[in-house]
Amino acid sequence: MRQVLLLAALCTASLASAQAPLDPSQPDFSGIWRLVGYHAATALDGQRAPPLLPEAAKVYAERKAALAKGDHSADPASTCLPEGMPRLMLKAEPFEILQRPTLLAFNYQINRLPRVVYLNQPPSTDDSGYYLGESTATWQGDTLVVDTRDFNDLTWLDDSGLPHGTALKLTERLQLAPGAKQLVDRITIEDPENYKAPWTITRRYERLPGYRMPEDVCAEKIGSSAPRRRK
């Protein structure tokens, strides 16, 4: 249902602003992007481990041990639940950004998950807790600062199993690299329930001109309960 509502919001906003030009003073992030290399969120500035609190460190160790044995049953994504944030930004699969004057829409190839970032709008008073949180953003010069909060605690921060709670807050600073062929995302993670202090990771993405994202249906990958395609 959350995905349906996001797609409806995107369609409505896109139709309303389709003729409105983007501010020429601001960079255009529109296009399809792919992570340069593969990196989980397990390193702080590439050197140190995240500052886990003791109980969170225990949970993390248990998850890593299970994964090492090939047991993915504790991973919510193994049952096709949304991968969450910032995990979706750390995957090898591409994502598309559609930029409008009032929002940016992220369309992830993985299970075709949608995420809407609302520009220059206050966050809602809704406190339901979402898999991808609620994202609002403002421009600071050529940098888009995205604030995401209102998460549930059902997702992992990355493929390795880093935990988070409902107090998770993400701050992303998105900026085009010189030449506009790469997008840089500096992600600061704050979660006082699981980490001693905020910590930051930086990831780069390359443009994929001409790439078309294929349909991706998670339910077809995990068992025989999903309807089969006709041959």
Measure the CA–CA gap between 218 and 83, rounded to whole angstroms.
Answer: 11
194 located within any domain: yes
230 located within any domain: no
174 located within any domain: yes
Rounded (5°) CA angle 134-137-139: 175
Measure the CA–CA gap between 195 and 44, rounded to whole angstroms.
Answer: 12
Measure the CA–CA gap between 96 and 82, rounded to whole angstroms.
Answer: 17
Q: What is the DSSP letter of 6?
A: H
Measure the CA–CA gap between 6 and 22, rounded to whole angstroms.
Answer: 21
The CA–CA distances, whole Å, from 194 to 14, 120, 197 equal: 38, 30, 9
25 located within any domain: no
Instruction: Output the pLDDT for position 156.
Output: 96
108 located within any domain: yes
Q: Could you tell me the two tokens for 192?
A: 């006082």
Spans of the chain below 70 pLDDT = 1-20, 38-48, 223-231
Q: Which domain holds residue 70?
A: 2-15+31-221
Measure the CA–CA gap between 98 and 96, rounded to whole angstroms.
Answer: 7
The pLDDT tens digits for 205-230 are 999 999 999 999 998 887 644 444 44
171 located within any domain: yes
Q: What is the DSSP letter of 91?
A: S
Domain count, the chain: 1
For the entire predicted model, the pTM comes to 0.86
136 located within any domain: yes
* CATH assignment at residue 192: 2.40.128.20
172 located within any domain: yes
Contact 20, 100 (CB under 8 A): yes
